Each structure stands twice: as structure tokens, then as C-alpha cells.
A and B are shown apart, each in its own frame.
Chain A
């Protein structure tokens, strides 16, 4: 890795002002993507602003019927948290299936969401659950937040502080992991909130996480695993690599959606 200056602020405000004042500063949350990138010399920030000392960014709470998770809460903490488990068990299950134990102990929800890796699990949860991303500047709905592969609505210097999830009537996540990396080849979150069904897919799309509207429509008619499975998803917008062809991914979107529906019931 190249040399950089390291900062460990203790407040969000301090972090934001560091980001604003340095030439090419980068936030590091859990570091699960950034640190390997630095080690491979694929990034050369002048400054690293480490959020791990910002206590106000950690933790889980209920705000009425909304589950609020601090940006620096690790996947392991989300998976083990009784409040998450009670409000949205699908979210705890999803967190429990990210990477491996080491990744879950370091990686954070804010880091994952800000990075918007097209094969990360959390973006599917935010999109299907209709979550809101709260930043140092504003609140952004998940529908507006994820703008493409590794791309979000975040402005330079803007830091995600928390994610707000309205409690759904029911939800489940089904993931088909990449055999090598354990990222999602296809991950489908199915959720029903206020009578509306949302189906979000990660891992499969060329532009990152997306809503599978044909499956949503089919499930609005009959909420059953067979209804989801009967939908033929087009491979045209699916990504392809040595682990999964576009055809295979399209097929797996229906299969994983049907399994998520089955797990909802």
C-alpha cells in the first residue's frame, strides 16, 4: 500500500471536517473492501479517516415501528442483536450470511451500503424493505440511493450515519453464494410492507441492485413460491462471469425469489 495520513476522529462532525479539509481523503469504516484495495495499490488516498472511534455511529434501536441501525454497526452485531432479530429477523439472517466470521466482525452496514458492491447483500435489504439512508446532510430513500454498480447518491464528503428500516409485515432473504468468494451470485430479498410487495435482487444485475418488478407483480396476484418461480426473468440485464452465466443468474433470480417467499410463510 502507498503511504497516507491516518486520522481517527471521535465525532461525526470532526470526521466531516477532516474529509472536507484534506486533498483526497477517504473514509474507512470496517475496511473490508478498502484495505484489500489499498494493499493491492489500486487506490492512493492522501488521508484515511477511520470512523471506528465515532461512538455515536454504532448501535441498534427502535424508533416507533422503525428499526434504526448505526452506520458503524458490524454485520456480526446486526446478526446477534435481539432488537433486529425481533423486528426484522430476515435482516439478522442476511447479516449472518455475509462473508465469513472475520468479515462479519469488521465489516459495517454503513460501509457496505456506501460501497454499493453489486454483489453485496445489504443493498437488497434496503431496497426491498424501503429503508432510508441518513447522512451527515440529509435523508435519502433506498430507491434513490443506489444509482449503479459501486455508485450511490452520496456527495463527496457526505457520510452515512444510520439506516432506518420500517418494520415489514413479513420478509425473507435467499442467497445463492459465489462458491469462491461467498458474495451473492444472486441474493433476493422479498418483503411485504403496508400491503405492498417489494422484491430486490443483488449480485445479478449489470447495474447493481434492482427491483424484480415482474416477480413483484406475480406475488401481488398470489403470494406463493410457485408464483415467483413461474416468472421467467430476462437474462438481458444480467451480468456474467466464470461462476455464472447471464442465463443462470436469470434462472436463479426466480429460484431464489421462490425460496425467499417460502421462507416468508
Chain B
């Protein structure tokens, strides 16, 4: 095996260009004759548009065009779309309200796109944007998640009475109700999964370029899925056609789900570039990101867990309101349904489950996938209620979980909520995490904290997720508008180095290194001789992009399939060169060898022969280039146990994370260093949700947390060193045995943190556990204790 292949913690190939400041992000690109777009956005959460006076703006210096929804309609540009059709439990399809590129006659959130000014310079565009006069008929707004369906609430879309987009269910209601009737004990909790703003380091940006010579469009944009963007923009929105639209997503500085959706801005840049016959650039500023990027989470849930006298789980009943904001964004319908409801069995034997989820429109920014996408919301419910149940039963939370685990000999395991878990060993993960966190001696550490006047708590989170989305036939039957396979093309050059084209997109994940390591192990080509090409629809085969921790499990598997084709063709060439039978050729460590001899040809020699086919099999095509598409047979099921330990200053409510342990089973690990980095980042994001981040709108729908003055992001000093380890049960159904690691930390951390905090303060509370809220929870508890 090569020393830079699978299992090696080599440094990331892509980091050189980032560290020396030579990354190429969308805003770094400037096109000849480029112009600049500035958007006029609604300052109101809900208003009718009586009229738009663009005359002053049109006459302002440098202005080339002032465009509104009227010009969009004139040009036949359609609305933006949601890509997954969900049906309500009464069989009705979800109610889809208008998602216009520029508002037609109504604005539905603060930041809603009303008009665009295209000008020679950015300053001129912004100056002129202020001169666009919009006559608003301001109306009351519907903002709060839990009350959006109540009678009398302002209506977001006429198509969706009571603001209900869909009322979805999963599981067996009758069996679950029966489980509760037979329960020895029922634990009930109320949960708010706080709304988050993704905050990728690079704000969204786009350059639209229409070439009136070739009549082709090019879009440079911050996308996690450039081919999906091309498909939506051409086939649904109606700009050009797939064969004359090129979408380039160059270096992208983080996505976390917010760069999946196809937004108004990039649509407008493309469309306007034809109108002005020049490239149109827009780079979002941070305020625009806060207002109008898709947000995440925002669920309000009631959950009940039925238990028998031995502490075994009998049934789980969940009702949730999920806020989808003003529009159904691209993945907004699948995130709170099939990416969410299907995980409620957790790591447990849970015989009966019933989930009912009402998705509600509100006058807020659209809500879509955010790191974990539906699965963090599930794990948060399952792991918070598991911990609460253990405490109510007086059981050790670790022992309670152990008693309910699916056992290693039960795989494949069919849950009551559709999924079949393929592999796992949950007791081993738990044992490892308990040992690493020194769980047994926690009481001693708690006593030491108490002696200092501090409160100490410990909390577990035994999460599971479904990654590697997804088998296309399965998701098609559930309403997906696309298939979710992935593609790869391997091109050997004549000199023996390799280009790999992938349909996945790297925006921080390290694909350029990890995928090259797969090539190193499978073809014996050193990582330095492998270049990974991604993010350009004109270079790579059609691909579905990167989200849901899918790139290695699905895209990496496509690379393995393509590598197998390379080896198959190489074997024919080598057999010819070595004057041997194909059946006698073995491929190992980059060399084709006649079995039992020392006669061999390196794969580089074979590649050379393929491109200089002077001595070559008669019936074989020259060249060494193979493509493969891979459609997975199942989801993958990463799982783990995270343990958080906190110390709280009761005087101020300040929570310090003093220990954080993460033991994860990601199947086979390609690059342990990159995986550890993904786990660190995920934990930081999860802790951010649990303790700091919170998107707040006021009752009128104004965004209170519109900047970093009020939206708190985690900082390095907020964390201790993490104790991170992995266990491995390889995925049995993909060729790499990998499961995916990108979202685990963000899924696992919030319940671990909140279980630790509620353990310390001895009372329940909701995220985020800011100092104010922790102090308030302690204050609320204090009089109650005094009365006892």
C-alpha cells in the first residue's frame, strides 16, 4: 500500500493556495466589461407593493438598468423552486406559494428582493438603489413558529391556508398510541430547536455573463451543487438551456447548506447580463447574508417517550412545527421530513414511533438545510428525551442507553421509520467514550466544583445520522425531483499522472486530498500526481454536488468504480505488452504483473502505451480514461457518542465547557487528520447552536440579530481541547466502507451540551444556553426550591 493512500494523515493539497492567498473565490474573478448589481430589498416583513418608481434611479450616474418583477415577467423568467414534493397525511401535495425572483406584488420578509440596479461601478449601483422608490402597503406579519397556524394569523401565501405548507406524518400511530397505553412511565419534553443563520466565511456571490456572440450563459457562483444550479436555472426558471449554460463554482468558502439553494441573486445576474449585454457581478455583504441566505433549524416540538418498568423504550410520539420561512427553498421540504422523521429510532430498539410535523410559512427568510439538515433536530429530541427519561427513572444515563441499544448482532436493523441500518456497534462506541471522558470519576470532579461554588454537569449524546444521500429509486418514491447518484471520470495523461473529475464539490471538506488518496490506494499513483477537478459543469460529468455528508460515500465510490474500469482496460494493455494472457495479469501497487513472475509493467507505462499505441492490442481503443456513475444501495449510518462536561458560574450563568469527548464510527477513515478537523468544526458549530447562536426576529418581523453585534458565533477560546477518537464498522454496501463525517459534530454536540447544562443546573431549559438564560433558569428554580 502507498504511504499517502487510504488511512494516511497527509496534509491537505488544497491548503497551499489558501494559505498563500491564492485561492480563487467568485469575488476574485472579474470579467471584461463587468458591471455591478445592487439589490433593493424590502425593509418590511410583509407588505403589498402599490408601485415602484425607478425614474430617479435610471437617471443616476452610471446606471445601465433598473429592473423589477415586471421586466422579469416580460422576459418570461419563472419562479424559483423547491426540489422535493412532500404529501400531507391527507394525501394532498404540499402547498407551494410563490417564490419569485423579484417580488411581484407582495414582499414576504425583511430583505426580500424587490428590484435590482445594474451600474458601471458598485458605488453607483448602491447610490442608485437608494433612489428606487417603492410604495409599500405595510401589513401585519406572521413570525412565530408555534402560532403560525393559528386562526387570525397574517397569511403568507393564499395557496396555504393557515400558513400550513404540509402536515406530514411517518410511523404507525395506532401502534404508538398502544405503546403509551401500556407504558409504565412516560417522559414528556418541550423542545425549541433554535433558528440559526449559517454564516459561511465567504458570503454568497455571482457573476452572470451572457455572450451575445455564442448566445451562451456562464455563471460563476458560490454553489455546493453547480450542476443542480444549471438544471434549475435552465429547466425551471427558464434562462437558456442546459447545453448553453455553464456554471462554475470556483473556490467556495464554506456552505453548510446555505449554498445549496438557487437564489434570486444569481438568477438576476444571469438574466440581467443579457439585458445589458455585459457581465453582471454581485457580491453579498454580511448584512445581506444575515437577511437573505437560507436559515436553519427553527422547530418547536413536543415529544413523549413511553417506557416499561425496566427502562426499556416502548414508543416515541413527536409533534413538531417546522418554520420554513417565506418560501419553500430547494431542500426545504425534505429537510424536516425524510431527513428528519426517519431517524427517530436513534441507536435504540424503539418498537413504535409516530411523527407528525407541520411545516409553516412565516414572514421570515427561507429556512433550508443547515449542517446536518433535519438530523440534528432529530438527535436533539431523541437524546434530550433519553437523558430526561433516565433521570426521571433514577437510572444512570449511560446504562439507560446501553439497555436500549440495537445490538451489533441485530444488523441489518429495520426501524419503524423506514430506514434499514446497515452496520454499527453502539455499545463499543459508548464504552470507549465513557473511558476517554473518565465518566466514572465525574462525581469527584463535581464535588470539587461545588467546593469552589461552581455547578458541574455531564451529558451524553448517542447520535445516529443517515448520510450518503441517497438511493435514487428510494428518494424518487418519496418525492425527490432528482436522482442522487454521483459521478467520476479518471483521465490518465500520457506521462502517467492523473486528472480526476468529480461531480461533488469541495468547499472546505478537503476532497482534493481525500479523493487523491483513494486514487493512490486504488491505482498506485502518488497523491502529488493526482489533480481533482470539480465545480465546473463544462469540465466534470453531471454530478449532484456536496451536502448530507455524501461526497466520499457516493462520489468516492464513483471514483472507485471508475478506477476499476481503468484497471480492467490496463490489464488488457499490460497483457499485450507482456505477451501474457489477461487472466494471468495481477494489478497491485500500481503495477500489472504476470502472476508468479517478476515480469511487470507500471500503470504509467501502460498509460503511455495507451496514448502512444505503437505496440497495442488490435481491437482496443487507445487512451486511458474511464467514467463511472454510482447510485448507492442504501444510506450510510455514521453514529457516535459525544460526552460534554460543563462547569457553570451560578452568579453569572456563564457556562464553561471543561471536557468534550467525541467517539465516532465513520466506517473506514481515509484521512484521519481531515476527519478530526471535520469533527472539531462540527462540534464547534453544535456548541454554537447550544450556547450562543440564535436568530431573533421581533414581532413585526424585523431581524434583531442582523450582524455580529448581536448574533454570537463561537470563538476558539470557547473550547477546551477535544478528545476525539473513532471506531470502525465499515459500511457493507459501498466499495470504500465509508460512512461520512461532515455533519456528525453539529448533530451530536447540541444534546450533549444541553444534557450537561441541565444536569448542572438541575432544571430544564432551551437553547441557546446563554449566560442570561442560564441565570434566569437558576433564578426560576431558586424560589421553587425555597418553597419546597
> B770 at the A/B interface (Cβ < 8 Å)?
yes
B467 shortest CB reach to chain A, Å: 32
Closest to B653 in A: A248
Which residue of A2, A179, A242, A248 contacts B704 across the interface (Cβ within 8 Å)? A242
CA gap between A242 and B710 in the complex, in Å: 8
Interface residues on A, range: 10 to 19
> A244 at the A/B interface (Cβ < 8 Å)?
yes
Please state if B710 and A243 are interface contacts (CB–CB under 8 Å).
yes
CA gap between A251 and B651 in the complex, in Å: 9
User: Which chain A residues (232-252) contact chain B, with CB distance < 8 Å?
Assistant: 241-245, 247-248, 251-252
CA gap between A181 and B704 in the complex, in Å: 14
CA gap between A251 and B127 in the complex, in Å: 46
Please state if B652 and A181 are interface contacts (CB–CB under 8 Å).
no
Stretch in B139-147, B244-252, B440-448, B771-779 touching the partner? B771-779
Please state if A181 and B708 are interface contacts (CB–CB under 8 Å).
yes
Please state if B692 and A179 are interface contacts (CB–CB under 8 Å).
yes
CA gap between A176 and B771 in the complex, in Å: 10
> A255 at the A/B interface (Cβ < 8 Å)?
yes
> B532 at the A/B interface (Cβ < 8 Å)?
no
Which residues does chain B contribute within 8 Å of A251, judged by CB atoms? Answer: 775
Which residue of B126, B652, B709 contacts A176 across the interface (Cβ within 8 Å)? B652
A180, A181, A244, A255 — most chain B CB neighbours (10 Å): A180
CA gap between A179 and B717 in the complex, in Å: 12
User: Which chain B residues (65-98) contact chain A, with CB distance < 8 Å?
Assistant: none
Please state if B710 and A248 are interface contacts (CB–CB under 8 Å).
no
B573 shortest CB reach to chain A, Å: 59
C-beta contact mask, A35-49 vs B, less than 8 Å → 1, else 0?
000001100000000
Please state if B775 and A180 are interface contacts (CB–CB under 8 Å).
no
Q: A180-B712, A181-B709, A181-B710 are in contact. Are A245 and B772 (CB under 8 A)?
A: yes
A176 shortest CB reach to chain B, Å: 7
B196 shortest CB reach to chain A, Å: 14
B19 shortest CB reach to chain A, Å: 20
A133 shortest CB reach to chain B, Å: 27
Please state if A252 and B652 are interface contacts (CB–CB under 8 Å).
yes
Which residues does chain B contribute within 8 Å of A183, judged by CB atoms? Answer: 709
Closest to A179 in B: B712
Closest to A176 in B: B652
Q: A179-B692, A242-B710 are in contact. Are A248 and B775 (CB under 8 A)?
A: yes
> B10 at the A/B interface (Cβ < 8 Å)?
no
Closest to B779 in A: A247
CA gap between A42 and B772 in the complex, in Å: 30
Which residues does chain B contribute within 8 Å of A241, judged by CB atoms? Answer: 710
Closest to B770 in A: A179
> B673 at the A/B interface (Cβ < 8 Å)?
no
User: Which chain B residues (686-741) contact chain A, with CB distance < 8 Å?
Assistant: 692, 694, 696, 704-705, 708-713
* Interface SS majority for chain B: loop
Q: A242-B696, A243-B772, A244-B772 are in contact. Are A180 and B711 (CB under 8 A)?
A: yes
B143 shortest CB reach to chain A, Å: 15
CA gap between A247 and B130 in the complex, in Å: 41
C-beta contact mask, A1-19 vs B, less than 8 Å → 1, else 0?
0110000000000000000
C-beta contact mask, A168-182 vs B, less than 8 Å → 1, else 0?
000000001001110
Which residues does chain A contribute within 8 Å of B779, judged by CB atoms? Answer: 247
Closest to B654 in A: A176
CA gap between A3 and B123 in the complex, in Å: 9
Q: A242-B705, A243-B770 are in contact. Are A180 and B710 (CB under 8 A)?
A: yes
Which residues does chain A contribute within 8 Å of B287, judged by CB atoms? Answer: 40
CA gap between A135 and B221 in the complex, in Å: 52
A126 shortest CB reach to chain B, Å: 24
Closest to B710 in A: A180
CA gap between A245 and B770 in the complex, in Å: 12
Which residues does chain A contribute within 8 Å of B126, judged by CB atoms? Answer: 41
User: Which chain B residues (731-772) contact chain A, with CB distance < 8 Å?
Assistant: 770-772
CA gap between A2 and B123 in the complex, in Å: 8
Which residues does chain A contribute within 8 Å of B775, judged by CB atoms? Answer: 248, 251
Please state if A255 and B712 are interface contacts (CB–CB under 8 Å).
no
Closest to A248 in B: B772
CA gap between A182 and B736 in the complex, in Å: 46
CA gap between A251 and B696 in the complex, in Å: 24
Q: A180-B710, A181-B709, A248-B772 are in contact. Are A255 and B652 (CB under 8 A)?
A: yes
CA gap between A245 and B776 in the complex, in Å: 10
Which residue of B123, B127, B651, B709 contacts A255 across the interface (Cβ within 8 Å)? B651
Closest to A245 in B: B772
Which residues does chain A contribute within 8 Å of B708, judged by CB atoms? Answer: 180-181
CA gap between A2 and B287 in the complex, in Å: 18
Closest to A241 in B: B710
Which residues does chain B contribute within 8 Å of A40, judged by CB atoms? Answer: 287
CA gap between A251 and B776 in the complex, in Å: 11
CA gap between A242 and B653 in the complex, in Å: 15
Closest to A255 in B: B651
Closest to B696 in A: A242
Which residues does chain B contribute within 8 Å of A243, judged by CB atoms? Answer: 710, 770, 772
Which residues does chain B contribute within 8 Å of A181, judged by CB atoms? Answer: 708-710
Which residues does chain B contribute within 8 Å of A242, judged by CB atoms? Answer: 694, 696, 704-705, 710
CA gap between A180 and B694 in the complex, in Å: 11
Please state if B709 and A180 are interface contacts (CB–CB under 8 Å).
yes
A37 shortest CB reach to chain B, Å: 12
CA gap between A10 and B692 in the complex, in Å: 45
B50 shortest CB reach to chain A, Å: 25
CA gap between A244 and B123 in the complex, in Å: 38
CA gap between A97 and B91 in the complex, in Å: 59
Closest to A186 in B: B652
A98 shortest CB reach to chain B, Å: 15
CA gap between A2 and B130 in the complex, in Å: 11
CA gap between A181 and B708 in the complex, in Å: 6
CA gap between A3 and B287 in the complex, in Å: 21
CA gap between A176 and B653 in the complex, in Å: 11
Which residues does chain B contribute within 8 Å of A248, judged by CB atoms? Answer: 653, 772, 775-776
Which residues does chain B contribute within 8 Å of A180, judged by CB atoms? Answer: 692, 708-713
CA gap between A241 and B770 in the complex, in Å: 13
Which residues does chain A contribute within 8 Å of B130, judged by CB atoms? Answer: 41
Which residues does chain B contribute within 8 Å of A245, judged by CB atoms? Answer: 772, 776
A254 shortest CB reach to chain B, Å: 9
CA gap between A69 and B126 in the complex, in Å: 40
CA gap between A50 and B709 in the complex, in Å: 25
A132 shortest CB reach to chain B, Å: 31
CA gap between A180 and B290 in the complex, in Å: 14
CA gap between A255 and B123 in the complex, in Å: 48
CA gap between A174 and B292 in the complex, in Å: 38
CA gap between A183 and B709 in the complex, in Å: 9
CA gap between A3 and B651 in the complex, in Å: 49
CA gap between A244 and B776 in the complex, in Å: 10
CA gap between A41 and B771 in the complex, in Å: 33
CA gap between A44 and B737 in the complex, in Å: 61
CA gap between A41 and B130 in the complex, in Å: 10
Q: Which residues does B use to contact A, with CB under 8 Å?
A: 123, 126-127, 130, 287, 651-653, 692, 694, 696, 704-705, 708-713, 770-772, 775-776, 779
Q: List 8 A-B contacts (CB under 8 A).
A: A2-B127, A41-B130, A179-B770, A181-B710, A242-B694, A243-B710, A248-B775, A255-B652
Q: Which residues does A use to contact B, with CB under 8 Å?
A: 2-3, 40-41, 176, 179-181, 183, 241-245, 247-248, 251-252, 255
Known A2-B127, A255-B651; further 17 A-B contacts with Cβ < 8 A = A179-B770, A180-B692, A180-B708, A180-B711, A181-B709, A183-B709, A242-B694, A242-B696, A242-B705, A242-B710, A243-B710, A243-B770, A248-B653, A248-B772, A248-B775, A248-B776, A252-B652
Q: Which 9 A-B pairs rank lowest in CB-CB distance, beginning with the nearest?
A: A180-B712, A181-B709, A179-B712, A255-B651, A248-B772, A244-B772, A180-B710, A242-B696, A248-B775
